[in-house]
Every structure is written in C-alpha cells, then in structure tokens.
Structure 1
Amino acid sequence: MTSKTYISIFLVFFGIGAGAQEVLTTEEAIALALDHNYGIKIAKNTVEIAENNAGILNSGYLPTLTGNAGATIEVQNSEGQLADGAVRIAEGAETRRYNASVDLSYTLFDGLGRLYNYKRLKEQYQLSELEARSTIETTMLQLFSIYYSVAELTENTDALEQTMAISKKRLTRAGYQFDYGQNTKLEVLNAEVDINNDSINLIVTKQLLQNTKRDLNFVLGNSYAEQFNVDTDVDFVLDIDKDELLEKTKLNNVSLLQAETNINISEFDIKTNKAQFLPNIGLIGSYGWNESSNNSPLAFVIQNTNSGISGGINLTWNLFDGGSTLTSVKNAKILLETQKLQMEQLNIDIERNFNNAWDDYQNKLIIFQVQKNNIITAQNNFDRTEEKFKIGQVTSIEFRQAQLNLINAELSRNQAKYDAKVSELTLLQISGELLNIAF
C-alpha cells in the first residue's frame, strides 16, 4: 500500500465528525448532574418523603375527627294485648331511624411517646438528607472520574494524532528517498509498519473516547449533546493543610454524621419504648343527632328526635404485656451500644482512609511533576534525534525509539495529571469538603 493510498483511507476514516463540538465545562456538568442524574432524583424524592413524615401532620399531636351517619328502615307485623284484654294487630308497620354524629378523639398524655417519636422523625429526616448528600458526593466523584477520563483520552488522541503526522512525514520522506535511490525498500516498509501501529492505537483510543463520553452522558441523565468536548485545564487545590483538613473530616465526613444520627435515633427508640410503661390519657367528645319514627298503632311515640353533646376522659394503662415492652427496651439499648461501637470503629477507619488518601494525593502530585519534567527531556531528545535523522546521522530505528519515548511520556503525563486530580477529589470527599470547592 502506498503512502498516498494510506493517507486517503486515514482521512476518510477519521475525517468524519471532525467539526467543532461544544465544550462541556465542569460547572455545566455539575448543574446537569444535579438536575438530571437519576440517582440524585431518587435521593431527592426520599428526602421529600422523610420531610413529610417529620411534619406536624404525622406527629400524633393533632386530634382525630370522625363523622358518622346512618339510616335504617324496618317493616314488621306486630300483635299486642292491652291491659283490658283487647288485642291489637299492626301489619306492615314501618319504623325509620336516622342518626348522625361527629366524634373527637385526642390523646392528652401517652408517656411522652409522641414527643420522642416526633424527635425521632426529625432525626430520620436529617438522616435522609445525609444519605442524599452521600449520593450526590458519590455521583460527583463518579462524574468527574469519567469527566477527567474523557479529558485524558482527548489529550491522548491529540498526542497520537501528532505522532501520526510525524509518522506520515517519515513515510513520505522514506518514499522519496527510495525513489531517488537513497535508501532501500526496507526503510519504506518499516515506516509503513510504524504508521499502521500508530493508526491502530489512534483508532482504539478514539473508540474508547467515544465510549467514555457516552458513560459521562449517562451520569448526566443523557441530557447533553451527543457530540461534545471537555475542558482539559486542571487546577489543583494546593493550599490544603493536612491537620486542618483532618479536623474537618472528623466534623463533616458524611459517614460519621450518618452514624451519629443513627445513634440519636436509637436513643429516641429507647425513650419511645419506655413510654409504653406509662398510662395513656385521652379526651373524647361527640355531637350526635338521632331521629326515629314509627307508624305502628302499638307505638306510644310516633316520632322521637334527640341531639346533644357528650364528652369524657379515658385512661388506659397496660399493666403487664407479657414482657414484650421490657424486651424491646433491652434490645434498643443493645442496638445503641452496638452503634456506638460501630461509630468508634468508623472513626478509626475514616482516619486511616484519610491518611491513605492524603499520601496518595501527595505522591501523585509528585509523579505528575516528574512526568512534566520528563516531557521536556523527551521532547528535547526527540527534536535532536529528528534533526540528526534528517541529515542521516541516526537510523530510522533510533528515530522511532525517540518518537515512542515522546508519545509514552505524553501519555504518562496525561495519566498522572488526571490521576492526581481524581485523587484530590477523593481526599475532599472523605473530608466532607467535596461539595464546598469549585471544580
């Protein structure tokens, strides 16, 4: 295959879709994820349910009001004997009864069970908010892990395209030199093999880039354009103090806050169960209306109507329930102790994870800086080798090695750059500061 034929195929293969594409910024990605990511949407719905549950309408502090109404009709045959011995018979006597009432019930005292349950629901609402925050933090970390993978693959694609351009120039040069008898066919064949390898690497990288863009759009709820680019500029939060960040971790880490909230809930569970040892005092009231009519000749009153208000106080006290309440209190205390132990374990685990994440971040920053310096060395080496190659002082194999060293240095630099950024975000997530920084 000649160089011209190969270049034509390459342009057809990669020329499609080479037009300008929108750039998805980090700010836009955050906004789109918050509005369209399905996990975040579900978490928001869960928070809304918990908020409804923690409202006054679900607290048990409001009275219940019930309306009742009814009507009955009876048709009977009756026979009765009077005091004088006379007998009276009523056939098809109809009796009608109507009633309506409004009943009120209100608990005045239940051993403070309502109070503790209401406070428990408030804590449950706080827990749901923390769970939603955890979902958002996890989604943001996932979002930017993929975002920076797209950025890395974008820069890798650019580097590989530059390598392709160099390889094409080398193939063209080798072809001219062969035509004029300055080298053998072997130089042309070597150049073709190298350009084929470069093209394969570029094809694979471009395909991986497209797949990763689809992954990113999935996290965004498929809310963005099908074709887009990302911002490849990265800023690091370099003024982080380890001790200060560790203190923030102990105060703001979402897992620790969730564990603390679960302890509060368990404490209210104990108090709620203990409330069952005390009596319940309730207030009841009713307003009713009743009317009955009877057309039987045996009836003393043909129609009767009454209405009125009634009220009262009732007391119920479960003196002994077989020990189930006592068992519930004991189990709630054990659960509380278990959660406190889990809290202690979690504190140790979080501090370990923080230290690991801190060291990983610092090391990756150093690696990134080393790779940046390595790029300078590799570029200088390639430039000098290229000049010597043009005047025939180095072989094509030496030139190719310098070219590979440069592209490998560029790919390693790109990986180190985005690995360091993702490591930084992981550290900020552990410390509870991920949502408080500007990306």
Structure 2
Amino acid sequence: MNVLMLAVALATQATPVNLEDARARSRENVQALTAALQASSAEQDVRIARSSLLPQLRFQLGASVDYNGPQRFISVERDASGAFVRQVVDLEESLLPNFGLSLGVQQLIYDRAVWARLEQSGAQLEAQQGEALEQQDTSELEGINRFYSLFRTQATIQVLEANVRRSEQQLERARALFQAGRVGKAEELSAQVNLGNDRIAVVARQSQLATDQARLSTWLAMPGAEAVEAVDPGVLAQSPAPAPALEQALQEARTRRPLLVALRKRLRAAELQESIANAGYLPRVSLQGSYSRNGPNADIVFGNPRLQNSVSGGVTVSWDLFNGFTTQAQARRAQYQSRVAELNLQQSERELEGTVRQSHVALAAQITSAELAEANRKAAADALVLAEERFNAGVSSTLEVRDAQLKLTQAELTLLENRINVEIARFTLMRAMGTLAPGEAK
C-alpha cells in the first residue's frame, strides 16, 4: 500500500490543467508564436511596398573643404607687340571651403510594377496569416493529443489501482476461507501473488506518467520539472456524439481550412508576379523637385536667405525599349511559378479531401469500437460478480476469480483506450476541417 499512497501524494502536488487550458496554451506555444511573428514580419513588407508610392523627401546638410598645394601653370598670353609668349604662373597652397544644404522631393506618378508589388505583398501577408493559423491548429491538436495521453495514463493507473483493491479483497476472502477450513493454503498464496503483480503494474505506470507530464508541460511553455495533472474532461461519463455528415465535413474543410486559404493567397501572389514582370513593357513616370543653397561661406549659406537659392523641378519618363529580352524571360518565369502554385493548390485540395474522409471514417470506427468496448465491460463486470459468488460459496478457485478479474481490468482499459481515441479522432477531424478555432479562416 505504500506505493499507492506515494502515487496519491505525488498526484496531489501536480498543477491541474483542463482541456480548454491546454488548447488555449497550445495556440500560444513557441511554434505558434514563431509563425505569428513571421506574419507580423510580412505585415512590415506591406508597409515597405507602400512606401514607394509615398513622397520621398531627403534633406542634406554638409560642409567640405578642398586643399590645393603649391602649383605651377604655363599660360600663353599676347604681349604688347601682339606676339604670343609663354609665362610661368606659380600658385600658393589654398583652402577652399564649401557649405551647402538641400531638400529634395520625388513622387512616383505611375509604375505598374510598384502597384503590383503592393498588392502582392498584401496577398503574401494573408498567406502568412493563414499559415500562422494553420500552425496554431497544428499546435493545438498536438496539445490535445498530449493532454489525452496524460489523462489516459492517469485513468489507466486508476483502473489498475481499482484492480489492486479487488485483489486485496480477494486475498482477504481467501484468507478468511482458509482460516475457516473451506479452501487450502494455496488459494491464499495465489491471491497474495496476484496482488503483488497488480501492485507492480501500478508502479510500472509511474514512469509513463512522468513522461506524459513532461511532454504536456513543456508543450504548454510551463517548466519541464513541473508536475501537471490532466483534469478529467468528463468524456468517460457520457456516450460519444455521432460524427458529422461527410459532405458537411468536406464543405467545411474547403472553406475554412487555413492551409487552403494560405495556398490560394500564394497562388494570387504568384499571379501578381506575372503583372510585376509584364510592367517592364510599360513606361514609368515620376516627379522630382529640389531646393538647395551652396556657397564658400557659412554666413552666406545659412545666414542670408536672399542669396544662394536654387530651385529645380521636372517630370521624368523612363521606358525600357529593349533590355535584351530580360522582361520577356521574367514574364515567362513568373508564368511557370504561377502554374506551380496552381498545381500545389489543386494537389493540396485533393489531399485534404482524402484526409477529411480518412478522419471521418476513423471517427465513426472509433465510436463503434467504444460502444462494443462498453458492452464488453458490462459483461466482464457481471462475470466477475458471478465468479466471486461461486468462490464465496466454495465451488470455484482463486484462479477462476483471477481470470474474471483480469478480463474486467482488460475490458476497462480497452474501453478507456477507445473512448479517448474517439475524442482524439474527433479533434483530428476538426483539425482537417479547419474548425478547431471558430471563425479562423474564410
């Protein structure tokens, strides 16, 4: 009994985690947060693409100095008689300062590629957001699996502990019947060995319990050394709900699965790349303007606004009439990439339909298995009651009771396994349909 008391003591120190907490925490674990940060990064790409359409202002302020060392020049001049003579001119070293400030503005008037890049960055942002939702669903389903793995181990230990209690009661009955002279000593010893084996089975599950606790706590971004307890979600006390209609599940998946939303946006981004490439055939128009002040003296440049002023402006039209067929090659490449994205989307749609159907069939099969397991458990429980009555009446042995006891334990474990598998299969189907989180994709 010391082992069982220790297990109970350890369980009371664990942090309780219910299913809804596990689902919510899983959607905010490291993998999900990383995907969300990537979506935020894509949002900045939209701002960068939009910046090209806004006025570009540049202010510049500077001062420079030119140093000229001693220099000698040969000049040709006309003398008084009209003849040309060569003269040597020597210049001393000099410092020539220069001060200036300028303000320039440039506004893009028309460039099809810039508008297409802005639209493309928006499509890529939506694709990244869809992929982030897809990762959140993946993280949530993994959290659900880990939660139910821990709950399965906890419930298994409870079933094994109940079996230990039945073995203790059997040992007490065998001992009492031996003392009354109704059975031999072998019956008591057999019951004692059975009890020892059942206690060993409970101890063996403790290491699995620690493993499942660590897997769940680390996935939920909790300290790995912290013991957690999966709160009973109540699924064992109720019959499983039926599976949704297959056509309904397929329709939900087509419209709500984040993966398909992301792939459709990737296809849109690839199509816009064609527009960007074809923009090379079109002219680009921009407007420039500048204001500047320059001079050799800082007081003149910065202190006298009437002097040194210079203003310029103009419209620029640029058109690549021929660039060695680069634009044509880029347009062809964009078409091929668009076709690749289209093929990937079509294949993913087919695979998704197969996944939904497979998950739907698996859920229906698990529900049927759970119903059969419940019937087996009831039959095994009745068989154990009958075997105990026969043993108490002295017309059977411990072996018969033990066989009925093991069959009941196995039936309870089978029911537990199948009932939890029903819930996992249901959440797996919801994951395939894109309905784990309500209203997450459109």
**Are 1:104 and 2:105 matched, yes or no?**
yes
**Are 1:292 and 2:292 matched, yes or no?**
no
**Are 1:418 and 2:405 matched, yes or no?**
no
- Judging changes above 3 Å, is the alpha-carbon distance between structure 1 residues 18 and 252 closer, same or farther for their aligned structure 2 residues? closer
Kept after mapping to 2: 8 A contact 1:279/1:315: yes
Structure 1 residue 388 displacement after superposition:
1.4
Deviations 1:225-249, CA, capped at 9 Å, x for gaps: 6343422412755372322222112
Distance 1:422 1:102 in 2: 65
Structure 1 residue 433 displacement after superposition:
1.2
The structure 2 residue matched to 1:38, chosen from 25, 30, 49, is 30
Residue 264 of structure 1 aligns with which residue?
268
Structure 1 residue 357 displacement after superposition:
1.3
Distance 2:3 2:71 in 1: 108
SS at match of 1:434: coil
Distance 2:150 2:243 in 1: 27
Which of 59-68 and 16-25 deviates more? 16-25
SS at match of 2:27: helix
- Judging changes above 3 Å, is the alpha-carbon distance between structure 1 residues 343 and 95 closer, same or farther for their aligned structure 2 residues? closer
When normalised by structure 1's length, the TM-score is: 0.87
SS at match of 1:392: coil
Residue 259 of structure 2 aligns with which residue?
255
Structure 1 residue 317 displacement after superposition:
1.9
Residue 189 of structure 1 aligns with which residue?
189
SS at match of 2:337: helix
Residue 4 of structure 1 aligns with which residue?
none
Structure 1 residue 169 displacement after superposition:
2.3
Structure 1 residue 78 displacement after superposition:
6.8
Amino acid paired to 2:153: L
Distance 1:31 1:370 in 2: 33
Residue 144 of structure 1 aligns with which residue?
144
Structure 1 residue 58 displacement after superposition:
4.2
The structure 2 residue matched to 1:401, chosen from 385, 400, 403, is 403
Residue 319 of structure 1 aligns with which residue?
321
Amino acid paired to 2:279: A
- Judging changes above 3 Å, is the alpha-carbon distance between structure 1 residues 277 and 156 closer, same or farther for their aligned structure 2 residues? same
Residue 24 of structure 1 aligns with which residue?
17
Amino acid paired to 1:156: T
Residue 3 of structure 1 aligns with which residue?
none
Structure 1 residue 178 displacement after superposition:
4.4
Give 1:93-172 correspondences, 5 Å limit.
93-110=94-111, 112-172=112-172
SS at match of 2:322: coil
Distance 1:375 1:405 in 2: 9
Which of 222-231 and 81-90 deviates more? 81-90
Distance 1:15 1:362 in 2: 36
Structure 1 residue 192 displacement after superposition:
3.0
Structure 1 residue 14 displacement after superposition:
3.5
Deviations 1:127-169, CA, capped at 9 Å, x for gaps: 1111111111111111111111222222211110010111122
SS at match of 1:240: coil
Structure 1 residue 392 displacement after superposition:
1.6
Which of 140-149 and 253-262 deviates more? 253-262
When normalised by structure 2's length, the TM-score is: 0.86
Distance 1:253 1:285 in 2: 50
Residue 302 of structure 2 aligns with which residue?
none
Kept after mapping to 1: 8 A contact 2:30/2:221: yes
Kept after mapping to 2: 8 A contact 1:66/1:102: yes
Residue 301 of structure 1 aligns with which residue?
none
Residue 427 of structure 1 aligns with which residue?
429
Distance 1:258 1:217 in 2: 30
Distance 1:390 1:241 in 2: 52
Give 1:44-63 correspondences, 5 Å limit.
44-55=36-47, 58-63=50-55
Structure 1 residue 401 displacement after superposition:
0.5
Aligned residues between the structures: 419
Kept after mapping to 2: 8 A contact 1:137/1:429: yes
SS at match of 1:312: strand
Residue 202 of structure 1 aligns with which residue?
202
Structure 1 gaps of 5+ residues are: 1-6, 295-303
- Judging changes above 3 Å, is the alpha-carbon distance between structure 1 residues 198 and 268 closer, same or farther for their aligned structure 2 residues? same
SS at match of 1:382: helix
Distance 1:32 1:155 in 2: 23
Distance 1:228 1:150 in 2: 8
Residue 234 of structure 2 aligns with which residue?
233
SS at match of 2:10: coil
Deviations 1:21-59, CA, capped at 9 Å, x for gaps: 553222222333334x11111111111111121236644
Which of 398-407 and 330-339 deviates more? 330-339
Amino acid paired to 1:71: A
SS at match of 2:186: helix
The structure 2 residue matched to 1:281, chosen from 274, 279, 285, is 285
Amino acid paired to 1:321: N
SS at match of 2:12: coil
Structure 2 gaps of 5+ residues are: 81-86, 299-305
Distance 1:87 1:332 in 2: 67
Residue 84 of structure 2 aligns with which residue?
none
Kept after mapping to 1: 8 A contact 2:11/2:229: no
Distance 1:29 1:237 in 2: 22
Give 1:364-383 correspondences, 5 Å limit.
364-383=366-385
Distance 2:289 2:197 in 1: 90
Give 1:306-345 correspondences, 5 Å limit.
306-345=308-347
Distance 1:15 1:418 in 2: 23
Distance 1:62 1:144 in 2: 47
Which of 360-369 and 167-176 deviates more? 167-176
Deviations 1:301-325, CA, capped at 9 Å, x for gaps: xxx9512211112222222222222
Amino-acid identity (%): 22
Deviations 1:254-294, CA, capped at 9 Å, x for gaps: 23222211111111000001001212222221110111159
Kept after mapping to 2: 8 A contact 1:71/1:99: yes
Give 1:214-233 correspondences, 5 Å limit.
214-222=214-222, 226-233=227-234
Amino acid paired to 2:319: W
Structure 1 residue 222 displacement after superposition:
1.0
Kept after mapping to 2: 8 A contact 1:130/1:257: yes
Root-mean-square deviation over aligned CA pairs: 2.8
Distance 2:205 2:143 in 1: 20
Distance 1:79 1:262 in 2: 69
SS at match of 1:102: strand
Distance 1:26 1:14 in 2: 22
Residue 299 of structure 1 aligns with which residue?
none
Distance 2:415 2:4 in 1: 28
Kept after mapping to 2: 8 A contact 1:245/1:431: yes
